[in-house]
Amino acid sequence: MDARRISKWTKIELLFAIPLMLMACSLSSAIPATSTTVIPTDTQGAPTAQATEAPTLTTAPLQPIHLTPTITLPQSFKYADLTFNVTKAEITNQVSDTNPSIDPTNTYARLSIQVVNLTALEVKIPAGHFILKLGDGTKYSQDLIEDVLGKGSDDVSLQYIVPANETWSGAQLSLDEKGTVPGVVKLDGPQATSPYPITLTAGQKLTLKTFRPMTYTVNTAVMELDGLGVRAKIGSHYLVLGINAYCNNSVGCYVGPEEMRLIVDGVPESPETIVPDSSDLNYQGSEDVQAAFVVPDNATKLGFEVGEVGKGTTQTPMPMK
């Protein structure tokens, strides 16, 4: 009896279980699949990314730059009766003349100049500046404040920062002050020609017979751009006279800027510079004097006059060329 009861309940359970199983299978197929993340345990190592090497960036080493002009040095120019000799010129990326290391940032144009004073003058160029003009037309400026006392020489070094691809093609160096005629030297190609200096006929004698009798003899006469340590302004030049003054006065004579003038197209002009500044002469004594007069480029007639105005003067025509 117990066995039949158990079998009966088993059949009933199966009748309910089969539909439930079918429903579970149906629901299982309707639910979308999801991924399962497996958390690593102490005994399961975490996955590791494969190691890769970063690309190595290589930079080409800096190459030394050393460019010199094709023109033969030294090359010279004059300014204010000083001679400027360009003895060295180079475009380089070397840190300095004494440090051969390569400058990673800048390239330089460097020039060495010897300044020579062959006169006894104290020459000052208080507002001068050098201008380096390179082939592309770019200009680079550097001030110069230089005194050269008497005869002697001095050295000047110039340095300009320039593009790394710069060259000496078409280069030139000039020196001027505001409004003056520049002195120029080319660092590429032939030098430009100048009409100056122009040597004029000399030998003129001027004699004062009344007040302070004297005889002035013009030994040299030169048209040039330098007037005894001074540079001419643009649009003018100098007439520099070398004069011997001889005293015929028994009580002595005086020689100075008040005693001489250049007559330019009828207008009297005192000397801009005179060396020595003034002199007192004994009877039959003499003095060699240099005097520089400003002459406009468009002047047409010149005369030289000596003597004290109002007390006795004399003059002579001066040639223009």
User: Which class does domain 66-186 fall in?
Assistant: mainly beta
Confidence grade of residue 27 (pLDDT, cut at 50, 70, 90): very low
Residue whose tokens read 């122009």: 198
Residues 70 and 150: their CA atoms lie apart, in Å, by 34
**Averaged pLDDT of the chain:** 85
**Is the pLDDT confidence value at 63 over 70?**
yes
Range from 3-17, 45-59, 148-162, 251-265 carrying the lowest mean pLDDT? 3-17
**Is the pLDDT confidence value at 22 over 90?**
no
Confidence grade of residue 260 (pLDDT, cut at 50, 70, 90): very high
Domain ranges for the chain? 66-186, 198-318
Of 182, 125, 201, 134, residue with least CA distance to 156: 125
| Percent of the chain whose pLDDT exceeds 70 | 79
Of 119 and 92, which is predicted with more confidence? 92
Residues 206 and 250: their CA atoms lie apart, in Å, by 19
Answering whether pTM is above 0.85, one says: no
Same topology between domain 66-186 and domain 198-318: yes
pLDDT digits (tens, 9 = 90+) for 201-239: 999 999 998 888 999 999 999 999 999 999 999 999 999
Confidence grade of residue 119 (pLDDT, cut at 50, 70, 90): confident
Residue 218 has a pLDDT of 98
Of 204 and 20, which is predicted with more confidence? 204
Whole-Å CA distances, 314 to 134, 183, 258, 268, 303 = 53, 37, 14, 13, 10
Of 17 and 320, which is predicted with more confidence? 320
Of 122 and 25, which is predicted with more confidence? 122
Average pLDDT over residues 169-198: 95
C-alpha radius of gyration, the chain, whole number: 48
User: Which class does domain 198-318 fall in?
Assistant: mainly beta
Helix (H, G, I), strand (E, B) or coil at 259: helix
φ, ψ dihedrals at 76, nearest 5° = -130, 155
